[in-house]
């Protein structure tokens, strides 16, 4: 077995990345192709277009749809899921639950996405246009612990579904099962057959199955060994139900890219084979890599660079670009927002199903976020956090907002959110306001926030409805380094910024990277909620 080098967090964060594109020059690219948290990516090609989706867990809208013409440059163009079901269950933050490891396929003019919700079962949505409206979710199979599904429409018209199992819900793991579905792909019509047992074959934590057929063989691509330290398996059999042989076709080897994990086999129109997968990067989440793939005469493939010819590759950092015929197109992943559109920016997500009272876009040139009133110990339990993925390994994000209070104790600000979080905030105290630096350690455990008062500023009283509002404009800023360390600052005039004086180490959330964005909480006194009007949010990522 090839050498497993220890994952060094600081070394991995020092790699060459770009928020806009991964092109090194005209002919080569550099991994990661997406330095954003798109966990468990899956990709399908139709014509010259490549469509990616990924896990979104409890974040809404969910099931992101990304588009590329060359497998290197990607842009987010849509979401396939407006709300999670059951709606009432997901009306509150259910961190780490919801959409796990989706699989996107194209069959008979339809795009399908299947995903597993470990608490409720396997769901499916479909559309004829990935940029358009997707259908309402269909519960294909109800059950606990059913995750990581992948369908296959076979040559004889039969339809199959492979999936893995989550031990946290079912008490089972490290196995892959397959069952038959109806012709519409909307329901399983047979019992599961266990086709691979990683417990027996030394491949613990097998999950993320992707089911394919090639040259008369059924293939299952599946990671094993765990997210941070695992390897990529390929299994094959002449019979859909096995038995399957298995080979390790890619692991970390001597590279600094840990746990190459769970992805998609894609073939270009020119006949090249590629594999898209993720790498765990702690506060930055699970970022996306592209690796070359080669089929051998014996019917097995190798992923990555196989330096010693043993059939097991390791991830590449820099490589020749795919031959797609579309290498000239470049996209930027959106991170800034002037809030001038009535459509929300595609980078923003809530932490629970959107309720009407959360906030609104509009024609005024700002985004309005209303205060959350429920009594929760910290921001972990707040559903209307308006957040986006960390936009690069190193960045500065600045925002201007109008604070509008209807009651003492109303609070709003800019946060970096995860298991631990920090924020720069403004809070009303009578006819004035305090500028606060807030931190919370182990927020998921219900711990209390630590609050430091940095300064005071005045508020203007304005008659507004049943109760007057107290308002002021404020500018907030966060600067993050490639080590995940963040510093916050504020300004009362938009020109000179005062550093908060503290350094915060960003930390991932449950199965997701840290996120940055806005919160607003209302004291609950009186009939009206306080709110913020966010004028703009601008990022300055460092491109290296």
Q: What's 168's domain CATH number? A: 2.115.10.20
pLDDT digits (tens, 9 = 90+) for 373-418: 888 999 999 999 999 999 767 899 999 999 999 999 999 999 999 9
- Report the share of the chain in percent with pLDDT over 70: 94
Q: Is the pLDDT of residue 541 over 90?
A: no
Output the pLDDT for position 22: 62
User: pLDDT tens for residues 13-43?
Assistant: 333 333 444 655 678 999 999 999 999 999 9
**Residue 192 annotated in active site:** no
What six digits make up the tokens of 240? 């859909």
Mean pLDDT of 429-442: 97
pTM of the model: 0.94
Respond yes or no: is residue 40 known to be catalytic.
yes
370 and 512 in a single domain? The answer is: yes
- Among 267-271, 280-284, 287-291, 463-467, the least confident range: 463-467
By three-state DSSP, how is residue 279 classified? strand
Q: Is residue 128 part of a domain?
A: yes
Mean of pLDDT over the chain: 92
Three-state SS for 162? strand
Helix (H) or strand (E) holding 9: helix 9-13
Q: Are residues 19 and 86 in the same domain?
A: yes
Rounded to whole angstroms, the Cα distance separating 186 from 189 reads: 10
* Of the candidates 424, 432, 429, the residue with the CA atom closest to the CA atom of residue 491: 424
Q: Could you tell me if 284 and 424 lie in one domain?
A: no
What are 70-95's pLDDT values in tens digits?
999 999 999 999 999 999 999 999 99
Residue corresponding to tokens 């059951």 = 86
Q: What is the 3-state secondary structure (H, E, C) of 402-439?
A: EEEECCCCCEEEEEEECCCEEEEEEEEECCEEEEEEEE
**Domain end residue (candidates: 320, 336, 367):** 320
The answer to whether residue 350 is domain-embedded is: no
> Does residue 332 fall inside a structural domain?
no
Tokens 């905030």 belong to: 425
Any idea which of 149-163, 294-308, 521-535 has the lowest mean pLDDT?
Answer: 521-535
Is 90 exceeded by the pLDDT of residue 421? yes
Task: Looking at the structure, tell me whether residues 388 and 294 fall in a common domain.
Answer: no
pLDDT of residue 111: 98
> Does some domain include residue 415?
yes
- Which pLDDT tens digit goes with each residue over 338-375? 999 999 999 999 999 999 999 999 999 999 999 998 88
Each residue's pLDDT tens digit, 280-309: 998 999 999 999 999 999 999 999 999 999
Predicted confidence band of residue 524 (pLDDT cuts 50, 70, 90): low
- Using only C-alpha atoms, the chain has a radius of gyration, in whole angstroms, of 24
- The two three-digit tokens of residue 296, written as one number: 């051998």
Confidence of residue 523 (pLDDT cuts 50, 70, 90): confident
Residue 502 and residue 451 in one domain: yes
281 and 397 belong to one structural domain? no
Q: What is the CATH number of the domain that holds 423?
A: 2.60.120.200
pLDDT value, residue 528 = 84
How many domains are there within the chain?
2
Task: Establish if 348 belongs to a structural domain.
Answer: no
The confidence score (pLDDT) of residue 328 equals 63
Residues 432 and 296 in one domain: no
For residues 3 and 409, the model is more confident at 409
Residue 98 CA to residue 94 CA, distance in Å, equals 8
Residue 195: the pLDDT is: 97
Among the candidates 259, 291, 320, a domain finishes at 320
Residue 99 has pLDDT above 90, yes or no: yes
Residue 81 lies in a domain: yes
Residue 146 and residue 78 share a domain: yes
Note whether 309 and 445 are same-domain residues.
no
Whether residue 336 is contained in a domain is answered as: no
* Whether residue 383 is found in the same domain as residue 500: yes
Same domain for 259 and 170: yes
The contacts of residue 406 (CB under 8 Å, 6+ apart) are: 464, 467, 469, 522, 526, 528, 529, 530
Tokens linked to 327: 């290498």
In a 10 Å sphere around its CB, with 0-12 CB exposed, 13-18 middle and 19+ buried, how is residue 5 labelled? middle
Rounded Cα distance, 497 and 499, in Å: 6
Active-site residue, selected from the candidate residues 23, 37, 40, 251: 40
Domain range for 499 is 359-541
Among residues 37, 207, 306, 535, which one is catalytic?
A: 207
**Residue 183 sits in the same domain as residue 234:** yes
The HSE-up count of residue 170 (CA atoms within 13 Å, CB side) is 18
Closest among 348, 286, 337 to 519, alpha carbons compared: 348
Report yes or no on 330 lying in a domain: no
């Amino acid at each position: 077995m090839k050498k497993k080098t220890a994952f060094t967090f600081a070394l991995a964060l020092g790699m060459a990345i770009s928020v806009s594109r991964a092109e090194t020059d005209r002919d080569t690219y550099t991994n990661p192709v997406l330095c954003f948290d798109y966990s468990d990516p899956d990709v399908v090609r139709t014509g010259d277009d490549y469509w990616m989706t990924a896990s979104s867990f409890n974040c809404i809208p969910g099931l992101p749809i990304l588009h590329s013409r060359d497998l290197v440059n990607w842009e987010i163009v849509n979401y396939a899921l407006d709300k999670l079901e059951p709606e009432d269950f997901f009306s509150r933050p259910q961190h780490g639950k919801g959409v796990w490891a989706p699989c996107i396929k194209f069959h008979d003019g339809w795009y399908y996405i299947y995903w597993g919700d470990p608490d409720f079962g396997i769901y499916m949505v479909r559309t004829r246009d990935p940029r358009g409206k997707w259908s309402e979710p269909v519960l294909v199979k109800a059950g606990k612990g059913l995750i990581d599904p992948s369908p296959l429409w076979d040559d004889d018209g039969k339809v199959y579904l492979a999936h893995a199992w989550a031990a946290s819900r079912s008490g089972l793991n490290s196995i892959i099962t397959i069952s038959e579905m109806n012709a519409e792909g909307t329901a399983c019509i047979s019992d599961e057959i266990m086709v691979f047992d990683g417990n027996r074959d030394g491949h613990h934590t097998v999950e993320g199955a992707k089911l394919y057929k090639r040259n008369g063989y059924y293939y299952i691509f599946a990671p094993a060994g765990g997210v941070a330290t695992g390897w990529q398996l390929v299994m094959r059999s002449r019979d859909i139900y096995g038995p399957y042989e298995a080979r390790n076709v890619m692991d970390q080897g001597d590279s600094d890219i840990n746990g190459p994990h769970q992805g998609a086999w894609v073939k270009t129109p020119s006949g090249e084979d590629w594999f898209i997968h993720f790498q765990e990067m702690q506060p930055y989440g699970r970022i996306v890599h592209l690796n070359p793939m080669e089929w051998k005469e014996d019917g097995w493939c190798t992923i990555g660079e196989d330096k010693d010819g043993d059939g097991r590759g390791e991830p590449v950092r820099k490589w020749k670009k795919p031959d797609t015929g579309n290498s000239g197109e470049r996209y930027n992943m959106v991170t800034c927002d002037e809030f001038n559109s009535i459509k929300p920016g595609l980078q923003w997500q809530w932490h629970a199903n959107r309720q009407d009272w959360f906030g609104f876009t509009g024609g005024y040139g700002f985004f309005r976020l209303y205060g959350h009133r429920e009594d929760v110990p910290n921001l972990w339990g707040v559903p209307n956090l308006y957040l986006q993925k960390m936009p690069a390994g190193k960045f500065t994000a600045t925002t201007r907002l109008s604070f509008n209070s209807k009651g003492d104790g109303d609070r709003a600000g800019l946060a970096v959110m995860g298991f631990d979080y920090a924020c720069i905030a403004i809070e009303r105290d009578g006819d004035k306001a305090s500028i606060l630096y807030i931190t919370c350690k182990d927020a998921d455990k219900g711990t209390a926030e630590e609050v430091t008062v940095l300064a005071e500023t005045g508020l203007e009283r304005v008659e507004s409805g049943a109760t007057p509002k107290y308002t002021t404009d404020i500018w907030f800023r966060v600067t993050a380094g490639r080590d995940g360390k963040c510093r916050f600052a504020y300004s009362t005039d938009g020109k000179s910024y005062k550093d908060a004086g503290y350094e915060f180490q960003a930390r991932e959330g449950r199965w997701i990277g840290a996120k940055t964005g806005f919160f607003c909480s209302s004291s609950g006194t009186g009939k009206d909620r306080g709110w913020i009007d966010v004028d703009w949010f601008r990022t300055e990522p460092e491109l290296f």
